[in-house]
Amino acid sequence: MQKFSIQFDPMTGEKYINVPFTKQQLVEHPIYNKGSAFTEIEREQLGLHGLFPRHNSTIEEQLHRVYDNFSLKETPIEKFIFLLSLLDRNETLFYRLLLEHAEEMLPIVYTPTVGEAAKTYSHMFRRPRGLYIPADQISQIDRILESSPFSNISLIVVTDGERILGLGDQGVGGMVIPVGKTSLYVVGAGIHPALCLPILLDVGTNNETLLNDPLYLGVRHKRLTGERYDEVIEEFVKGVKRHFPHALLQWEDFGKHHALRLLNRYQERLCSFDDDIQGTGAVTVAALYSAIYGKNEKLKDQSYVFFGFGQAGYGIATLLMHALIEEGLTMQEAKKRIYPVGHNGLVFEDMNPHEYQEPFARHRVQDWQNDKVDLFDTILNTKATVLIGTSGIFGAFTENVLSQMAKNTEKPVIFALSNPNNKCECTPEQAIQLTKGKCLIATGSPFPPVILNNIEYKISQCNNMYIFPGVGLGAIVSMTPKITDQMFIVASKALAAMVDHESGKLLPEIHEIRKVAENVAFAVAQFARDTGMGIRLPDEQLRTAVQHAMWKPEYLAYRKD
């Protein structure tokens, strides 16, 4: 394996890269390729004459060219394939393009378009990216990890493909998620793409459509379970610790029966977190800070109803509980503010709740003796002021539900967080109309502004990208051995602090993502330092360390290694 690094010439002050290749091999490597932008000197010294047309392009000229071609693509999946092919040719240009057109292109490279790419993965496969680890080859984990493009990996995103977005089991097609997430780390936090490694653990699939597809690229058997599954995960973690002992690992899109268990098992052994649990929780709590504090109220004075209580609901409720305790409540008092509603209604302790629901299950009360207390009854009886949906059920927030929220409080907080858009519990337009423009709303997928009575209401998206890139960067810079829930609380506060309450938004604009990641990373690194888990630098030097770690997609000079 090679080691990627950016050098600094102490004599000239020039930043440069030592390249290990020349000639055709150099231009076929997406990390090093500049395309037509190789300078005359580089073409001479690196044996590139004749491989490109005569003109030496600037990166601005290249951006103009690729954006024109991108704009010719008519469907989101065509745009996705075009961007993926650019990523496979020239990573610097790809990331520069994404940064300059973030609002337009991030929904293409990740949700919602990435879901369609996962479903058709085996049919549109072109070039491998990241590492594939089949369960029957786990004994060769060291050899597989040695196939990583670079030795100094700082970030790993891994999935087993079981719970891809709202689509469920996509088997080997789940690889598009780690690839997409590492791209978001680069765009958001500036972690250099050479230091990022997407991984797919192929433990089989229970998706019959995939198993019967002659073009399916994954292993063709049912998903491993029980001890055999755990053995695969254990050997994988051991391998990561041997080869990349200082890397951050993000668990991504694991099934609900594995995600929390794996997080709890390994978070003390490995610097790791689960974005579906903790990242979703942090960005939602940040939006809650903005909404509630923007009303000059306190989190502890609200009544929270959750509809849907799997990984996302549990993650939000757990971090919310920490935030409520910070405002002076005991743990029991904090839990009493939270009402989880599942498909059988309000979750009571005698209903054999799932492990996610159990910590927040309610005692039955005399007035609520029905076996099933539905969403509307819960909102009515609790006088709910905050309604959070992570159910994946389109239209679950009915007219009665939304109207009752408006009766309970002057400015109800309504978060319909399920994605993609066709799984959203209600549309922003429905919520705004039925609350007569009073609600504070956020969604899981992007929605356009809503106009009611000539007033434009901007819709905030609870996008995990506001959190996980900064948390990851802060962990890497601080060199913390573990990531705690409290780090996500400080990340939430740093994010909420960037919101202008007069704007009507609950979260910053997506084009501010680099500044968001910097502030979140700084807050996490500060917390790691102050709790004895991170490097001990004064604030100014710590901020500078974070800024220096954020790569800017630009062409540097090349020298032959």
- pLDDT grade for 377, boundaries at 50, 70 and 90: very high
pTM over 0.85: yes
pLDDT at 371: 63
12-71 pLDDT, tens digit each: 989 999 999 999 999 999 999 999 999 999 999 999 999 999 999 999 999 999 999 999
CA distance 229 to 232: 5
pLDDT digits (tens, 9 = 90+) for 459-515: 999 999 999 999 999 999 999 999 999 999 999 999 999 998 777 899 999 999 999
Backbone angles phi, psi at 448, to 5 degrees: -75, 165
332: tokens are 């029991």
CA distance 178 to 293: 35
Count CB neighbours of 25 within 10 A.
12
Window from 131-145, 367-381, 451-465 with minimum mean pLDDT: 367-381
List for the chain the helix, strand, coil content (%; round to 5).
50, 15, 40
Q: Give the pLDDT of residue 352.
A: 85
- Beta-sheet pairing, 450-452 with 455-457: antiparallel
pLDDT > 90: percent of the chain: 90
Is the pLDDT score of 316 beyond 70? yes
What is the average pLDDT across 519-546?
A: 98
Q: Catalytic residue at 314?
A: no
Superfamily grouping for domain 61-270: Malic enzyme, N-terminal domain (3.40.50.10380)
Tell whether omega for the bond before 198 is within 30 degrees of 0, i.e. cis. Answer: no
Comparison of pLDDT for 504 and 400, the residue scoring more: 400
CATH architecture for the domain at 278-465: 3-Layer(aba) Sandwich (3.40)
Measured distance CA(277)–CA(260) in Å, rounded: 8
Q: Which of 60, 56, 57 is nearest to 100 (CA)?
A: 60
Q: How far apart are the first and last CA of the chain?
A: 15
Length of the chain: 561
Residue with tokens 């609380």: 489
Do the beta carbons of residue 132 and residue 141 sit within 8 Å? Answer: no
Cα(118)–Cα(116) distance, integer angstroms: 5
- Ranking 112-121, 240-249, 370-379 by mean pLDDT, the lowest is 370-379
Q: What is the pLDDT of residue 246?
A: 94
| Residue 369 confidence (pLDDT) above 60 | no
CA gap 483, 274 in Å, rounded: 10
> Helix, strand or coil for residue 244?
coil
Average pLDDT on 316-323 reads: 97
Mean pLDDT of 372-391: 95
The residue whose two tokens read 């609790």 is: 382
**Tokens encoding 363:** 């005692």
* Domain residue extents for the chain: 6-57, 61-270, 278-465, 474-536
Q: What is the pLDDT of residue 50?
A: 95
Contact status, residue 303 vs residue 378, Cβ threshold 8 Å: no
Query: Do β-strands 386-389 and 345-346 pair in parallel, antiparallel, or remain unpaired?
Result: unpaired
Q: Among 34, 79, 119, 181, which one carries the catalytic annotation?
A: 181
**Are the C-beta atoms of 352 and 525 separated by less than 8 Å?**
no
Predicted confidence at residue 504, as pLDDT, reads 80
CA distance 378 to 492: 28
Distance in angstroms (rounded) separating the CA atoms of residues 341 and 34: 53
Considering Cα of 230, then 241, then 514, then 79, what sign does the dihedral take?
negative
| Active-site annotation holder among 110, 121, 132, 314 | 110
The per-residue pLDDT for 508 is: 95
pLDDT tens digits, 77-91 = 999 999 999 999 999
User: Nearest CA to 499 among 200, 333, 184, 283?
Assistant: 283
The residue-averaged pLDDT of 275-297 equals 96
Query: Is 110 assigned a catalytic role?
Result: yes
Q: Are 463 and 254 in contact (CB under 8 A)?
A: no
Architecture of domain 6-57: Up-down Bundle (1.20)
- Same topology, domains 61-270 and 278-465? Answer is yes
Give me the torsion for CA of 418, 422, 428, 430, rounded to 10°.
-120
Percent of the chain at pLDDT exceeding 70 = 99
Q: What is the pLDDT of residue 165?
A: 84
Mind giving me the DSSP string for 82-100?
A: HHHHHHHH-HHHHHHHHHH
Mean pLDDT, the chain, as a whole number?
Answer: 95
Q: Is the pLDDT of residue 367 over 90?
A: no
